[in-house]
A = this chain, B = another copy of it.
Amino acid sequence: MSTSNGFTWIDGTLVDLAPDECERLLGTHAVGRIAWNGPAAPTVLPVNFIVADSEIWFRTTARSSLSREIDDLPVTFQVDEVDEFTRSGWSVQVHGTAHIVYDAARLPRTWPGIETWPAGAHALHVVIEQREITGRRLLPS
Interface residues in chain A, defined as those with a beta carbon under 8 Å from any beta carbon in chain B: 2, 4, 10-14, 30-31, 33, 35-37, 40-46, 74-76, 78, 80, 82, 84, 87-89, 91, 93, 95-96, 115-120, 138, 141
CA distance A2 to B87 in the complex (A): 35
Contact of A46 among B11, B41, B43, B89 (CB under 8 A): B89
Contact of A30 among B84, B88, B120, B141 (CB under 8 A): B84
Query: B residues within 8 A CB of A43?
Result: 76, 93
Give the interface SS of chain A, mostly helix, strand, loop or mixed: strand
Q: Which residue of B lies closest to A43 (CB)?
A: B76
CA distance A2 to B91 in the complex (A): 29
